[in-house]
Structure 1
Amino acid sequence: MSQTATTDPQPEASSAPRRRPALSPSRASDFKQCPLLYRFRAVDRLPEVPTKAQVRGTLVHSVLEKLFALPTAERLPERAKELLAPSWTEMSADRPEWTALFDDDEQGEVENWLGSAAKLVDNYFELEDPRRLEPEACEQHIELELDSGVLLRGYVDRIDVAPTGEIRVVDYKTGAAPRQIGEAKAMFQMKFYAVVLWRLRGVVPRQLKLMYLTDGQALTYAPDEAELRRFERTLEAIWQAILRAGKTGDFRPNQSKLCGWCDHQARCPEFGGTPPDYPGWPEPDPGEESPLDRAD
């Protein structure tokens, strides 16, 4: 089994070899939800307008990553909130579409938005004391090729390793604790990470922890090896279904309650739209996740 674990890669030069198609937790979840949504995002790569809440989630993730880079004694709520404005300046410098979400004529809009991010940071400190933690990694890029040839790739918000070797996988969610559908989607993501880390390290993570920062709730789960073996087979089946659809372009829509949040209704046959002509299986990698995917 080919195994690699790397830090967040730098953008590839145009002359670099193309990356192999891979499966990420977000793209796998898209295909499960609606194959046509997967096509729009991974194959056609149609633009989507982010919401302020999504961008705020990305900002809070960036601040929490930087928080753990500080000396232990400085990991305090006020110090974390001081990181918000400079982090936003840094993040938005190359993304004018993010700054365009705010009305230049409305005084204090960005300040109010940063204030809402500060509340999420405060809620994080209600859940744990970062001065008592020394994560092994934050925003860790992980990659693994299964024996079946499926390449898995993703980013883990935080990996904690106890002195005795137990592994905890932590993911920050900047929304409220979800109902059944949302919880299943979040746990799918966490089991994806657990499979990769188990295969890379030979140790089943002791705990998967979701931290919901809007309402200050945490959800924990302890997977076992048999469950991860079954989940690995599920990922292999999803990838095979994606490859079959990719050969023909037959990515069928799946109408559900989640359609109300989709940017692509105008192109969806379920809503009277027509998808663009199928461009063929994408190169390079159709499994890549954006910062917005990882922020949630």
Structure 2
Amino acid sequence: MEEAVEVAVEAAAEVRPPSRPGLSPSRANDFLQCPQLFRFRVIDRLPEPPSSAAARGTLVHAVLEHLFDLPAPERTLAAAHALLPEQWATLLERSPAIGELFADPTELAEWLTSAEALLATYFTLEDPTRIQPRERELLVSTELDEDGPQLRGIIDRVDVAPNGWVRVVDYKTGRSPRAGFESSALFQMRFYAYVIWRTRGVLPKRLQLEYLGDGVILTHEPTEAEMATVEARVRSIWGGIEDAARSGDWRPRTSKLCDWCSFKALCPAFGGTPPEIPAGAVERSIGVVPAA
């Protein structure tokens, strides 16, 4: 699932306090990228301004989800484009601030045209008239341990072949990673495979990432041996999160990604001062009481 979509779903889920701390692949990657970023998003829950790229990703995901509501012969590019106005209205109703991203109707029209282009690319990768998804926007979760986090995520699409093989599909509206830089994206898909394997006893046959930004499909066939590796990696990440929660050391890790971070002005690596952590926020979010 696209980062912006997952953040929105997680935010909605927070209306109901979880029974235990949760960890999604996006938040795991946040911690690996920068513990301070993880703190701002998960502990402080600081709001982030909307972006046109993230909003476009949310819109395209919604169109592709609802495209499969149509009878198979009607799943055409024209039908996908026809879904855009309705899904845009729904998105705007849910998040009115997104409308402020566009200075005038011309700018909005250009943005919607860019969403149409991404949908056109999707149709070069797959023929939706030949696909009958078993599940869409599937929320999956499992408990790592009795006292560990709840692993959770939202899968864009699950297909099941007549022979029972399972394919997990995730849409990305950006460009595919360069050769040798696929590890973050594949971690997300292996994470999903692990949760399905744990909850359903079935290991997906194929993990498929569809990059609409440049028309590339990245596939991977997971193994049971990999699932043990995924579990060990998740345990290691969660252990690091718990250590940071106890010590209060959410040390920033600088990289060129800092230029895209919404919280740069608050980051101590750039002379900023993080806000005080709200009382009880660490225990509520991580299940750990900070050291005195």
Partner of 1:131 in structure 2? Answer: 129
Shift of 1:179: 2.2
Q: Secondary structure at the match of 1:100?
A: helix
Q: Secondary structure at the match of 2:152?
A: strand
Percentage of matched positions with identical amino acids: 51
- Find the aligned partners of 1:286 and 1:50 in 2 and give their Cα distance: 26
Shift of 1:222: 0.8
Q: 1:142 to 1:129 in 2, by over 3 A?
A: same
Q: 1:39 to 1:170 in 2, by over 3 A?
A: same
Q: Secondary structure at the match of 2:69?
A: coil
**Letter aligned with residue 197 of structure 2:** W
Q: 1:13 to 1:152 in 2, by over 3 A?
A: closer
Partner of 2:171 in structure 1? Answer: 172
Higher relative contact order (CA 8 A, sep 6+): 1
- Find the aligned partners of 1:174 and 1:186 in 2 and give their Cα distance: 13
Write the mapping of 1:37-76 to structure 2, written as runs, cut at 5 A.
Answer: 37-76=37-76
Partner of 1:3 in structure 2? Answer: none
Q: In the alignment, is the contact (CA less than 8 A) between 2:141 and 2:195 conserved in 1? A: yes
Partner of 2:95 in structure 1? Answer: 95
Comparing 71-80 and 179-188, the one that deviates more: 179-188
Q: 1:150 to 1:232 in 2, by over 3 A?
A: same
Query: Which structure's residues are more often helix, by fraction?
Result: 2
**Letter aligned with residue 144 of structure 2:** L
Q: What CA deviation, in whole Å up to 9, does each residue of 1:7-36 have, x standing for no partner?
A: x8996797x664421101111010011000
Q: In the alignment, is the contact (CA less than 8 A) between 2:167 and 2:206 conserved in 1? A: yes
Shift of 1:233: 1.1
- Find the aligned partners of 2:123 and 2:230 in 1 and give their Cα distance: 33
TM-score, structure 1 normalization: 0.87
- Find the aligned partners of 2:286 and 2:93 in 1 and give their Cα distance: 26
**Letter aligned with residue 81 of structure 2:** K
Q: In the alignment, is the contact (CA less than 8 A) between 1:207 and 1:223 conserved in 2? A: yes
Number of corresponding residues:
277
**Letter aligned with residue 48 of structure 1:** E
Q: CA RMSD in A?
A: 2.2
Q: Secondary structure at the match of 2:101?
A: coil
Q: In the alignment, is the contact (CA less than 8 A) between 2:245 and 2:286 conserved in 1? A: no
Comparing 122-131 and 140-149, the one that deviates more: 140-149
- Find the aligned partners of 1:63 and 1:108 in 2 and give their Cα distance: 22
Partner of 1:5 in structure 2? Answer: none
Write the mapping of 1:246-257 to structure 2, written as runs, cut at 5 A.
Answer: 246-257=245-256
Q: Return 5+ residue gaps in structure 2 as ranges.
A: 1-8, 288-292
Q: Secondary structure at the match of 1:254?
A: coil
Partner of 1:146 in structure 2? Answer: 144
Q: 1:234 to 1:113 in 2, by over 3 A?
A: same
